[in-house]
Structure 1
Amino acid sequence: MPQSQHGVSLACIYQARQRIAGQVLRTPLVHSPALSRRFDAEILLKLETLQPSGAFKLRGATNMIAALIERHGREALEAGVVTASTGNHGRAVAFAASRLGVPATICLSCLVPANKVAAIEALGAEVERVGESQDEAFIEVERLVRERGMTLIPPFDDPLIAAGQGTLGLELMEDAPDLDRVVVGLSGGGLLGGIGMAVKAIRPETRITGVSLSRGAAMWQSLQAGRPVAVEEVGSLADSLGGGIGLDNRCTFGLVREVMDDHFQVSETSIAQAMVDILEHEKLLVEGAAAVGLAALAEHGLEVRGQRVALVLSGNGVALETLDKARQLANR
């Protein structure tokens, strides 16, 4: 598949894999006997929960910071890197910057759970709590870039970020080259877009299924509108899927539109039940955004019988109080 106007190609993803080698874990793809029996299919779980930063975001953040150092030298990042995040990207930038010897500042809205804030601070990054949404936090990021000369590491809308996330797709194709479907949480589109680019370039017939929140699904609403649109950010068990895609989106809107085959929105109840099911039957602690693939299979009755299906368990950043809420909601 050739590189399109979004700037991401299979070659970019292979380059990203070279850059992040030794910094990011190649995560296992494991068979789930319980889910396979439940859906009469071979269900495989991609365990990004095992990344040292706790989520897939480490791939893109490491690739971008390493690429900037490679192209411009470490001195070009002397003022530090900065980003806004719903938690996982901020932690990934803090982790990658620490390993690569670059100072980092992470701007977080008040919607980001306290456990994710603490995890970022523990990595030595400076944290600024700003505004009621990720979009408002980005206003502070723009100020820091403008006034302090810091370098933005965007959460998703950059070819280097999407290519880094796409390394996950390479691993899927190497470990299960005959996959019928990959189910991925959809928010800003860096993860689904990167995975989709890698998978479709290698095996075009594999379906890429996106899963969004029932409310505040910015990328899905933008795709329906045919252009990036703003949506109200709402609280969710899957808080990592919140936030807009940027009205000036240059990369991931086009990338997702190119590679995604189908899409489903899931309710909070379905997310809660999926989180509990994964904990009870797989003995894996996952955040809401990591459980939406299972939520979609259960809520929408996707026809996967006899197929080989990978669910991307994207991260483990769940607070105990959030897990308690999920249990309560699932037991209603």
Structure 2
Amino acid sequence: MSDPVTLHDIYLARQRLAGQAARTPLILSQSLSLRFEAEVYLKLETLQPSGAFKLRGALNKIASLSSEQLERGVTTASTGNHGRAVAWAAKRLGARAVICLSELVPANKVAAIEALGAEARVIGRSQDDAFVEARRLVAEEGMALIEPFDDPLIAAGQGTIGLELMEDLPSLDRAFVGLSGGGLLGGIGRAVKGVNPRATVTGVSMQRGAAMIDSLAAGRPVEVEEEASLADSLGGGIGLDNRCTFALVREVMDDHYRVSEPAIARAMLHFFEQEKMLVEGAAAVGLAAIEEHDIDIRGQKVALIVSGNGVDAETLMRARALIDYPER
């Protein structure tokens, strides 16, 4: 079986994204470097125009569509950031967009999608429920489905983060990447391993509802029950008919950690208080893993993929309360 995503695919994606998605900065965190006796770098996908890394994959996919497909519009199911990215890319390319979301998606992310001119449809209690509506739009209205992760063009678009990372820090020892459907980790892992096979790619998921990790443990894609989390962007299944990312993640990921809600909360508040950054839970899980599991990174050059800024004041208050009153 051929590779679902190659290094060549990622270079082609970068060509499509030129002038569209931002090349985001990689900055050294003085506070984290001092604390962990390492060089800890932050890859700031929070500075994408849509506020998250998802823009890369969405643009790469939508830019590949024919003019006839663009005229019929695009649709997707999303936990928030992908929907926002599809809405942004569709508006840029003049296509109608319908974004299907579950009831677990925070209201601020729904509002951000609508502000970009897309229609947001809230359907059911899971991403799988939302996908039923998206697939109906494909079947009945001929809209193009923009997969959140399980598409080689999506994963290749996210992989451009890995290219930038290795160009800016070719001596990278380890990258910590949030793991959900696998498009982000799979794409980054392919790029990083393609340049430096000795670099370690570490995935991080929330404690419960980690579909990819449960699927890897089972040896096949499995369903999981979604639960509310500060890292809501990491929710959702990987699809029982997963065609791309299950195999990709299994190949490029070296190790994995699950993190608790208090650990995610502490990491979010570190970014807010020490780095002066608004960072959503899914973007803070790399730091959460290092702290909660006491991972020894001394002397290493480490990158944390800070994947998105989709957080509001209410969520930050919940994070603070979780730390101050953990039994509540």
Q: TM-score, normalised by structure 2?
A: 0.98
- Residues 136-159 of structure 1, C-alpha deviations (whole Å, 9 max, x = no match): 000001111110011000000000
- Aligned 8 A contact 2:76 2:146 in 1: yes
Partner Cα distance (1:65, 1:89) in 2: 13
**Which of 43, 50, 54 is 1:57 aligned to?**
54
Partner Cα distance (1:297, 1:177) in 2: 22
Matching residue of 1:229: 222
- Residues 54-108 of structure 1, C-alpha deviations (whole Å, 9 max, x = no match): 000000000000012xxxx312221100000000000000000110111111001
The reply to whether residue 42 of structure 1 matches residue 35 of structure 2 is: no
Measured after TM superposition, the shift of residue 331 of structure 1 is 2.4
- Aligned 8 A contact 2:69 2:143 in 1: no
- SS of 1:282's partner is coil
Moved over 6 A (4+): none
The reply to whether residue 169 of structure 1 matches residue 159 of structure 2 is: no
- SS of 2:201's partner is strand
The reply to whether residue 103 of structure 1 matches residue 87 of structure 2 is: no
Name structure 2 gaps, 5 residues minimum: none
The reply to whether residue 9 of structure 1 matches residue 2 of structure 2 is: no
- Residues 29-58 of structure 1, C-alpha deviations (whole Å, 9 max, x = no match): 000010001111000000000111000000
Q: TM-score, normalised by structure 1?
A: 0.97
Moved more, 4-13 or 58-67: 4-13
Matching residue of 2:28: 31
Identity %: 70
- Residues 220-258 of structure 1, C-alpha deviations (whole Å, 9 max, x = no match): 000000000000000000000000000000000000000
Over aligned residues, Cα RMSD in angstroms? 0.8
The number of aligned residues is 325
Partner Cα distance (1:13, 1:51) in 2: 18
Name structure 1 gaps, 5 residues minimum: none
Partner Cα distance (2:114, 2:76) in 1: 14
Measured after TM superposition, the shift of residue 301 of structure 1 is 1.0
Partner Cα distance (2:279, 2:100) in 1: 24
Matching residue of 1:113: 106
The reply to whether residue 248 of structure 1 matches residue 241 of structure 2 is: yes
The reply to whether residue 301 of structure 1 matches residue 301 of structure 2 is: no
**Which of 231, 237, 258 is 1:265 aligned to?**
258
The reply to whether residue 189 of structure 1 matches residue 182 of structure 2 is: yes
Partner Cα distance (2:86, 2:96) in 1: 10
Letter in 1 for 2:201: I
Partner Cα distance (1:123, 1:185) in 2: 26
Letter in 1 for 2:21: V
Matching residue of 1:123: 116
- SS of 1:78's partner is helix
Measured after TM superposition, the shift of residue 6 of structure 1 is 4.7
- Aligned 8 A contact 1:113 1:319 in 2: no
Letter in 1 for 2:260: S
Partner Cα distance (1:151, 1:331) in 2: 46
Matching residue of 1:80: 73
- SS of 2:251's partner is helix
Letter in 1 for 2:280: E
- Aligned 8 A contact 2:202 2:255 in 1: yes
Partner Cα distance (2:249, 2:314) in 1: 33
Measured after TM superposition, the shift of residue 127 of structure 1 is 1.1
Matching residue of 1:312: 305
